[in-house]
Structures are given as C-alpha cells and as structure tokens.
Chains A and B, each alone.
Chain A
Amino acid sequence: MKSLSLLFSIVLLLTITEKSFGAQARNQKNSQINVSSDVDTLGGNEDLLKMAQSLRSQTKTRIVQDRIVDRRNKLEFALSYGGFVGGDSYIKTQSMGIAANYHITPRWSLGVQYADLTSSLTPEGKRMYDIYRESINNGGTPAYVVDVDLPLSSTMAVINWYPIYGKTSFLDLGITQFDMYLIAGAGQITLSSGETPILSAGLGVGAWLSKHLSLRAEIKYQTYQDKPITGSRTLNTGMFNVGMGWIL
C-alpha cells in the first residue's frame, strides 16, 4: 500500500512538473513574434481590400475644435494704420484710426471706426503746384490750379460678417486661427469743404493671435462726394489698413 502511494506521488509530481515546464516553454514560445508569419501577413491582401471597399460600411472622420478666442458678446478695441488708394490723383492720404467692434457671435460684429486723415501732394500734384507757384511768382496767370478737397477725418458705423475661417502656423511659432470677413459701412467724412456722407464695402482678415490680441487687415472700396472749387464730384477710392486689436 505504502509503495503504491509512493508510486502515485511520483507520477503526480512528474505530471505537475511536466505541466509546469510545458506552460513555461509555451509562454516563452508565445512571447516570440515570428515577424514573417505573424506580422508580414497582416492587412496585405489587395483583393480582400477591394472586396471590403465594395461593402456598404464606411467611416467618416472630421476635426472639430473650439475657437481659441471666444467671440460671443465680446468687445474689441483696435488701432489701425492705412491709406487711400486711387481717388484724387493730386493727393495721397494716410489714415490713423481707432475702432471698437462688438462681436455678437463669431459670425457677426458691429463696429464704429474713426480715422484721422492726413494728406499730402502726390508727385503729379506737386508738379502742378510748382507750375502754379512759378506762374504766380512770374506775375502771370496760371493755366492750372491744384484744385483739391482734402479729406480730414471720417467716422463710420460698420457691420462685419465672418463666413470663412481657417488657421495657419506662422514660422512654427504656434497655430493662429483667423476669419475672413465682409465689411459694409456708412458714415461721414470730413473734408476741407465740410462734411459729406461716405459708404464703404470691402473684405478683411482677422487673425486671433491670443485670447485677447487680434491682428486685422482690410481693403475697402469707399465712395463719397467732394467739393473742390471747380464743382462737386463723386470719388471712388480704395482704402487699406492694418490694425492691432485688444479683445476684452
């Protein structure tokens, strides 16, 4: 009986040992990846891929991210610098402006803009002026007079619509979101002859550099009537300006 029990114990021990070593060996074997049979075969069947493509399942992916700058019920103040393009060929006009924009939503904003306008003669204007002065100095009657109505300042109310957005990475310094927008505005322009209405329309791009800092560039068409000595006329001008803003 005793020897039977001993024999049973030996068999049991051998079985357990064999199982244990077997499991260990299997684990070792399992942890070795056979690259050519296990990895190289993955996903490489072109025919299967074509069949899979013909099935009706599909996955669409897009990226949805929040605007860096919250522009809902926000006020923005800005300083700008720019100039007139076209218009009276005898003068060139530069503008220094301040503006306030109220962002109703990221799509719409209302604003007021004031621009202080400084004008000087273009080379053509200066040439005409020099001829005029020379003629006066020589006691003659000048054939031409530099007849201009200088713009002095303008005040406008504008509405902006921001239909297009995007983002850019500038010199790897960071990612900046921007909006391209349409501008429509109306107001008064003060000329040396007095005040007159002005209308404008254009487009701009606003880059939101940080939660508070903005950078804008605008180009606008504007129209108003000036009154030089020789009579009133409609001036169609362009205006460009760049500005920095602070969003509260």
Chain B
Amino acid sequence: MISLILFTFTVNLSAQASDRYSVEDWKQSFAAAVSKNNVQKLNQLTDLQKIETQAVPKCVDCENKNTIRQARELFSKSDYAGAEKLYNQIPKGSDVWLEAVEERGWSHFRRENFEKTLAQTKTLLSPQFVGGVGTEAYLLQSLAQLRICNYEGILTTHQMFKEKHKTRIIEIQNLSNTGVNNALKQVVQKASKFPLKYEDFGELVTKLPLLFYRDLEVQKQLLNLKVSQAALTVLADTSSSVYKVKFNQLKSDSSAKLQKRIQFLATEENAASAKIVQKLNLIEVEAIQRIHTDMALKDDSYKLSKFKKTNDDQLIFMDDGQPWIDELDKYDVAAKSCVKGIRRKM
C-alpha cells in the first residue's frame, strides 16, 4: 500500500524510472558475450567504473535538490519567508519533498506560526509516510504543541512515537551493532534497478536506516554486489576462471562494504534518535508540570484562532486521521492556545 502511494507521488519521475539501469539486462548481455566469447563486449560489460556512472548518477532530481539547498541557505540566514517560498516550489513527486515539508515546518516554527507547523507535521506523520519520516517530525510536532499548550496533543504525539518508532529504534540500534538484518538481506534480493527507489522496497525501509536507498555508497555497493551475483550465475557453468575470481572478489568486497555503510548510517540515525528521545522526554516533563499549573487557567487566558477563509474553488473535508493521498500537505489547523508570556505559579 505504501509503495503504491509513493508510486503515485513519483509519477512525474516516471521518465527517469524507465531509464533506470537494469541488472537483469546487464546479465543477459553478459551471458550473450560469454557464450560468444566476445572479448571486446566482455571488457565493456565488466568496466565497473562505467557501470557505476551509468547506474548511480551523482545527482538525481537535481533541480529540486538545488532548490532545497538554496532554501536551507536562506533558513540558515533566518530568512524564513524566503526559505518557505523555495520549499513550496518542490513538487510532491520529488525525492526531497518530505524533507521540504519538514523543514518548512521548522521554518513556520521559527516564525512562531505553530498552527502552520502542525499542518506540516500532520502531513509528515500521516500513515503513508511511516517509513519515509524520521523521529525529528515528532519532536517538531511535540514542540509546537507545547508552545500552544496542547498537552493532550503532546501525550498523543508521544504515544504515537512509541507505537510507530519503538520497533524501528530497536531494529536500527541492532543494525548499528551488527550491520546486517533480515530487511537488508531482502533488500539485496529485491534490488534490481538503479538508482534505487523507495517503491522498490516497500515496508522494508522501516527496518533500515532512513533514506538508505538514496545513499550513493549504499547504491554503489549494492550495484556491485548484484552485478557480481549475476555474473557468477552466468559463469557457473563455464571455465572462465579469470572472471570468476574477479567477480568473487567483487562480491565479497561489496558485501562487506555495504554492511559497513549500513552500519554507519544506522549508527548516525541511532545517535540522532537518541537526542530526539531525550528531547521528547524533556518536553513531556515540561508538559506534565504545566498540566498541573494550567488547571487553574481561565478561558480568557487562551487565544482562539479560526480556520482560514475559503472560497467556492476549494473543498473542505474533515480530518479523520486517515488522509487520502491527495489530502497530504492540505491540512488547515486552528488552535485554541494559551497566550504567550503567561506566568505559571506552582
């Protein structure tokens, strides 16, 4: 289901998808060259550098990546409005769209527009993106909820974090120690076209480091592994010992490097998640304290905001927690929030 949805999102990249490098095609060409003993062709097909260049381009979706880079530059200069304009330009079909949504959320947060922040996190934390969004989205939502005194929301967000990320945290933590798990083995089995894409692996991505399929080193080593596996299958019945040695070596090297890279990515993610978990715990402690103090707050201490005005060209649907694919990024949030600078007495 998730892969189907993400496939819909990547519809404008379908042209790129059709141009992906197929290991199966390479295998067939290689088998033909071996059977005809075509040395020139064999030399071409075993030029790994060339294969890597074709299969794993250094930049996919370059235009949007460039846009998000510019947006980040503006964000770092505190030009949040400028950054948001650029984030808005990134289409849903882009590889970096989810990152753009998350960073736009942070930008709204910095501008103290917490309702718009929550509109972004609603998208990020929707069921469709379980495998594509990391722990930071929960922190952003939790922080925004703290700022508007929505303590119930904080507890719900943390509960959701626990339900959706606990297994993943354990999995990634184990992966950071071992560098291998069942999901990685299945990924190796499934990978057949390069550059890799989210929809190639479906729910397996939830048990591997975030966005691992976009990592150039992972792609490179996975490509080498798949090519060597394909070559060894073709060479199984031949006596071409030179190529057998070469591809056996490539297979063991790429397998070890892939494992090492995955372990590195898992360690990085684990460290980032640990910080997020610490912060979530801090927010919860703050929320618990405030719940007790805010029991005494009167209604006029809260600021009520309204939904933005709409016109006949817009359709309004209720949020039932199960958004349709076309509803993502279309959230409108109105909050009854506590006013700023309120003094709490214990």
Chain A interfacial positions (CB closer than 8 Å to B): 27, 30-33, 35, 38-45, 48-49, 51-67, 70, 72, 105-107, 165, 167, 169, 172, 175, 177
- A52-B155, A59-B335 known; A70 and B161 CB under 8 Å? no
Distance of A30 from chain B, by nearest CB (Å) = 6
Does B336 belong to the interface (CB within 8 Å)?
A: yes
Residue of B nearest to A43 (CB): B158
Give Cα distance in the complex from A167 to B291, angstroms: 40
> Which of A32, A42, A48, A106 is close to B161, meaning CB atoms less than 8 Å apart?
A42
A59 contacts B313, C-beta separation under 8 Å: no
User: Which residue of B151, B155, B287, B317 is within 8 Å of A63 (Cβ)?
Assistant: B317
A32–B274 Cα distance when bound, in Å, is: 7
Measured between beta carbons, the chain B residues less than 8 angstroms from A39 are: 161-162, 165-166, 169, 277
Residue of A49, A54, A61, A167 near B333 (CB, 8 A) is: A61
The verdict on A57 contacting B155 (CB below 8 Å), with A64-B308, A65-B317 known, is no
**Contacts A32-B274, A39-B166, A56-B299; A62 near B312 (Cβ below 8 A):** no
Closest Cβ–Cβ distance, residue B5 to chain A (whole Å): 10
Give the CA-CA distance A166 to B324 in the complex, in Å: 13
Q: Which residues of A contact B119 (CB under 8 A)?
A: 61
Contact B161 A43, beta carbon cutoff 8 Å? yes
Interface size of B as a range: 35 or more
Distance in angstroms from A177 CB to nearest chain B CB is: 7
A59 touches B334 (CB 8 A): yes
Whether A64 lies near B313 (C-beta < 8 A) is no
Flag if A42 contacts B338 (CB, 8 Å). Answer: no
Query: Whole-angstrom distance between the alpha carbons of A72 and B308 in the complex?
Result: 21
Q: State whether A55 touches B151 (Cβ < 8 A).
A: yes
B336:A64 contact, CB within 8 angstroms: no
Does B242 lie at the interface of the complex (its beta carbon under 8 Å from any beta carbon of A)?
A: no
One digit per residue, 1 when the CB lies within 8 angstroms of any chain A CB and 0 when it does not, for chain B 326-341 equals 1100111111111000
Query: With the chains together, A63 CA to B150 CA distance in Å?
Result: 20
Instruction: Check if B319 sits within 8 Å of A44, measured CB to CB.
Output: no
**Could you say which of A33, A58, A60, A175 contacts B173, with CB atoms under 8 Å apart?**
A33
CB distance B316 to A62 under 8 Å? yes
Contacts of A167 in B (CB 8 A): 315, 317, 324, 326
Scan residues 254-285 of chain B and give those whose CB is less than 8 A from a CB of chain A.
267, 270-271, 273-275, 277-278, 280-281, 284
A165 to B317, CA, bound (A): 10
Residue among B119, B288, B315 with the highest chain A CB neighbour number at 10 A? B315
The docked-state distance in angstroms from the alpha carbon of A169 to that of B302 is: 40
Task: List A contacts of B337 (CB < 8 A).
Answer: 57
23 residue pairs of the A-B complex, CB under 8 angstroms, read A30-B275, A31-B270, A35-B170, A38-B277, A40-B166, A42-B159, A42-B161, A43-B157, A48-B291, A52-B155, A52-B291, A55-B152, A55-B291, A55-B294, A56-B301, A57-B148, A57-B338, A58-B335, A60-B307, A63-B317, A63-B318, A65-B327, A177-B315
A-chain residues with CB within 8 Å of residue B288 when the two chains form the complex? 45, 48
Among B151, B308, B327, B333, contact of A57 (Cβ-Cβ < 8 Å): B151
**CB contact under 8 A between A31 and B334, given known A43-B161, A63-B317, A65-B326:** no
How close is B311's CB to chain A, nearest CB, in angstroms? 9
- 13 more CB-based (< 8 A) A-B contacts, given A42-B277, A61-B333, A62-B317: A30-B271, A33-B173, A39-B162, A42-B158, A56-B297, A56-B299, A56-B301, A56-B302, A57-B302, A59-B335, A59-B336, A64-B308, A64-B330
Task: Say which residue of A44, A61, A64, A72 sits within 8 Å of B162 (CB atoms).
Answer: A44
* Contacting pair B323 A63 (CB below 8 A): yes
Q: Chain B nearest CB: distance from A57 CB in Å?
A: 5
Contact between chains at B271 and A31 (CB < 8 Å):
yes
A72 to B325, CA, bound (A): 25
Asked if B333 contacts A35 (CB within 8 A), the reply is: no
Among A51, A55, A106, which residue has its beta carbon within 8 angstroms of that of B312?
A: A106
Cβ of B299 and Cβ of A43 under 8 Å apart? Answer: no
Contact A44 B159 (CB under 8 A): yes
CA gap between A106 and B318 in the complex, in Å: 20
The CA-CA distance from A39 to B48 in the complex, in Å, is: 45
Q: Which residues of A contact B54 (CB under 8 A)?
A: none
Chain A's nearest CB lies how many Å from the CB of B273? 6
Least distance between A69 CB and chain B CB atoms (Å)? 10
Does any Cβ of A come within 8 Å of B153's Cβ?
yes
Chain B residues within 8 Å of A67, by CB: 313-315
- CB-CB nearest in chain A for B327: A63
Question: Among A33, A51, A62, A63, which residue has its beta carbon within 8 angstroms of that of B169?
Answer: A33
